[in-house]
Amino acid sequence: MKKIIIAIDGYSSCGKSTMAKQLAKRLGYVYIDTGAMYRAVTLFALQNGFIAKDKIDTESLHQALDTCHITFRMNEQGTPETHLNGENVESEIRSLRVSSNVSPIATLPFVRKHLVAQQQLMGREKGIVMDGRDIGTVVFPNAELKIFVTASAEVRAKRRYDELQAKGQNVSFDEILKNVQERDYIDSHREVSPLRKADDAIELDNSHMTLEEQDEWLMQRVSIFF
């Protein structure tokens, strides 16, 4: 199987991860969820008391960052799960507490530098599907295939709401929508690596697409490489 790099960028909760995960499985590629890495650093900062009353103690976080080890391990279903210093944190990093604090953490240049270097190492052998915000622009500007995914904020909030409800987490739709909109704003307005479509990325708006339609769209773009 030919090995290429597939970069999938876009707004939060637009189904990037599900799409990237399935694609990697189908191609026998490695899947890396870079959002999970920013979330794991956020959890690390919360656990160590580096975030208090919405203020980040950046100096302490910077100093401690080398002791924040993020790895992905396959579960029994063959899906990668995020581990922070050996502990499975896959569920905890999706909580509203982490979601509400992750954007400011992701704006910190030293955090981005640290994680981007790890992501580039993970992709050095190619054969990888990586999703995030800056994969096609910063991490792998030479990726063979770049996809930029969008959907309306309301559609995305509804998807996240359903996901959290299914997990028994009781949160209001309005709170989620506000969180999605706030993250969109911070993600696309931050100074370092703001979310933007790479010039050579193909845009996919999946607001009104079924999963089957999206899958067909994707396979048409992927198949030209094989």
Q: Enumerate binding residues for ligand DC (CB under 6 A).
A: 12, 34-35, 38-39, 102-103, 106, 132-134, 183, 187
DSSP, residue by residue, 64-91: HGGG--EEEEE-TTS-EEEEETTEE-TT
Nearer to ligand DC by Cβ, of 127 and 194: the residue is 194
Provide the 10 A C-beta neighbour count for residue 47. 15
Nearer to ligand DC by Cβ, of 10 and 29: the residue is 10
Least distance (Å) between residue 133 CB and ligand DC: 4
Least distance (Å) between residue 139 CB and ligand DC: 7
Nearer to ligand DC by Cβ, of 111 and 226: the residue is 111
CB 37 within 8 A of CB 115: yes
Here the tokens at position 150 are 């969008």
Nearer to ligand DC by Cβ, of 27 and 137: the residue is 137
Least distance (Å) between residue 70 CB and ligand DC: 13
Give whole-number Cα distances, 128 to 48, 156, 157, 160, in Å.
32, 25, 28, 26
Nearer to ligand DC by Cβ, of 139 and 218: the residue is 139
181: Cβ contacts below 8 Å, ≥ 6 apart: 153
Least distance (Å) between residue 44 CB and ligand DC: 14
Measured at the alpha carbon of residue 163, what is the angle toward residues 157 and 166, in degrees to the nearest 5? 135
Least distance (Å) between residue 39 CB and ligand DC: 5
